């Protein structure tokens, strides 16, 4: 048996006609840049998240950058970021000229360690970016309480958590700003790069809308330095079709994860706990093994696709070497980055496939 790490054809095949029709409509209209579909999808997606406003942007990275920028954060400011996240969370802060300050992970769920946040707050700290890593919501009431106590802004990195919820409220709707990526492999993915910023703050909405389009509200009137960071109309059309299926795809991911949990509980492999009161949408299903590299090779030889999210933590990348951290500064991330491995996870993965992966894991000698 072969089980790929991911198989997008499983979700695209059944809705191919619908997607083709949506693309054709954009071609027929010819409104490729900020066309009608962008505004429609902004409304649909922000409403889905429980937010008043949405701004379609060019990627998740750009969403984070524009969020930091719109909050007036820049040189001399510090922004708290988890040490285990995709590098883009930190890049968004860096692009704005501010400094990302890393916080170690919680060993139970691998999200940002809530106990370590306060120690990292200084007079320069302006914001915190909780990342709903792997699709698992951060306990946002704790983040909001810390933010209120210290006067910090909250930018949620929900790039892996479309449709996830904490205490019944969707991720992206807790902070001042929520950021999403529509990179093809995400729970809601475009046919290329794309992203969205969501907010309930009309002032931030207007700022980000202007920043994403050359700093202009009215065509050829440029009152500030802006960027070209727009969501393409073609992607908005595809995403609008796919959004209708997101909840059912997330349910399938959630059910697959429950099955993995069941089959792997009590084995030598480390399983992460789910945060209480959270609806986890399992962008990734990650386990731990002390012999990770051997395991990865073994699974590959048995036809099972895996990847690692992420093998090199931010503080050990060449890009962020300048932060001056050393081994042991983030004990949980330093240890776990050598142990984590992401198993096959996608809507449409069958029980037989999950059973094969679990059986193969149990036969690992
Ligand atoms: C994918 C991702 C991003 C960046 O999104 P892009 O659309 O690839 O730029 C940021 N943060 C996290 C946690 C991600 O998984």
327: pLDDT strictly greater than 90: no
Query: What is the pLDDT confidence band of residue 86, given thresholds at 50, 70 and 90?
Result: very high
pLDDT digits (tens, 9 = 90+) for 182-228: 999 999 999 999 999 999 999 999 999 999 999 999 999 999 999 99
Q: Is 84 in the pocket of ligand 1 (CB under 6 A)?
A: no
Res 337: pLDDT: 97
Percentage of the residues of the chain whose pLDDT score is greater than 70 = 100
**CA–CA dist 322, 316 (Å, integer):** 10
241: pLDDT strictly greater than 90: yes
Whether the Cβ atoms of residue 207 and residue 70 lie closer than 8 Å to each other: yes
Residue 22 tokens read as 């949506």
Closest CA to 125 of 164, 155, 84: 155
Closest CA to 129 of 61, 193, 194: 61
**CA–CA dist 27, 300 (Å, integer):** 42
Atom of ligand 1 nearest to the CA of 182: 7
pLDDT digits (tens, 9 = 90+) for 242-296: 999 999 999 999 999 999 999 999 999 999 999 999 999 999 999 999 999 999 9
Return the SS3 of 133. Answer: helix
Whether the Cβ atoms of residue 142 and residue 174 lie closer than 8 Å to each other: no
pTM tops 0.85, yes or no: yes
Q: Is 159 in the pocket of ligand 1 (CB under 6 A)?
A: yes
Q: Is 61 in the pocket of ligand 1 (CB under 6 A)?
A: yes
What is the whole-number distance in angstroms between the Cα of residue 194 and the centre of ligand 1? 10
- CA 163 to centroid of chain Cα atoms: 11
pLDDT digits (tens, 9 = 90+) for 170-191: 999 999 999 999 999 999 999 9
Q: Is 195 in the pocket of ligand 1 (CB under 6 A)?
A: yes
């Amino acid at each position: 048996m072969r089980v790929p790490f991911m198989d997008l054809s499983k979700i695209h095949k059944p809705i191919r006609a619908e997607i083709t029709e949506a693309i054709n409509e954009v071609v027929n209209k010819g409104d490729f840049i900020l066309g009608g579909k962008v505004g429609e999808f902004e409304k649909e997606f922000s409403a889905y998240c429980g937010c008043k406003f949405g701004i379609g942007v060019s990627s998740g990275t750009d969403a984070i950058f524009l969020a930091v920028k719109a909050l007036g954060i820049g040189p001399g400011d510090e922004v708290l970021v988890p040490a285990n996240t995709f590098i883009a969370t930190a890049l968004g802060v860096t692009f704005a000229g501010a400094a990302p300050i890393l916080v170690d992970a919680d060993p139970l769920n691998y999200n940002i360690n809530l106990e370590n946040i306060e120690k990292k707050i200084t007079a320069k700290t302006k914001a915190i970016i909780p990342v709903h890593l792997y699709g698992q919501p951060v306990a946002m009431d704790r983040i909001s309480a810390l933010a209120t106590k210290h006067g910090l802004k909250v930018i949620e990195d929900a790039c892996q958590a479309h449709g996830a919820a904490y205490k019944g409220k969707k991720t992206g709707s807790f902070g001042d700003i929520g950021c999403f990526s529509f990179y093809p492999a995400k729970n809601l993915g475009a046919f290329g790069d794309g992203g969205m910023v969501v907010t309930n703050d009309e002032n931030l909405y207007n700022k980000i809308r202007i920043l994403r389009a050359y700093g202009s509200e009215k065509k050829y009137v440029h009152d500030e330095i802006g960027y070209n960071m727009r969501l393409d109309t073609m992607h908005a059309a595809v995403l609008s079709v796919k959004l209708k299926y997101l909840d059912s795809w997330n349910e399938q991911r959630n059910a697959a994860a429950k099955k993995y949990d069941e089959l792997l509980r009590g084995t030598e492999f480390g399983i992460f706990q789910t945060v209480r009161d959270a609806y986890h949408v399992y962008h990734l299903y990650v386990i731990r093994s002390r012999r990770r590299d051997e395991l990865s090779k073994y699974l590959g030889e048995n036809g099972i696709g895996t990847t690692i999210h992420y093998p090199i933590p931010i503080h050990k990348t060449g890009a962020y070497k300048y932060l001056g951290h050393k081994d042991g500064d983030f004990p949980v991330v330093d240890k776990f980055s050598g142990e984590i491995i992401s198993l096959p996870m996608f809507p449409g993965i069958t029980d037989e496939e999950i059973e094969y992966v679990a059986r193969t894991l149990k036969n690992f000698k």
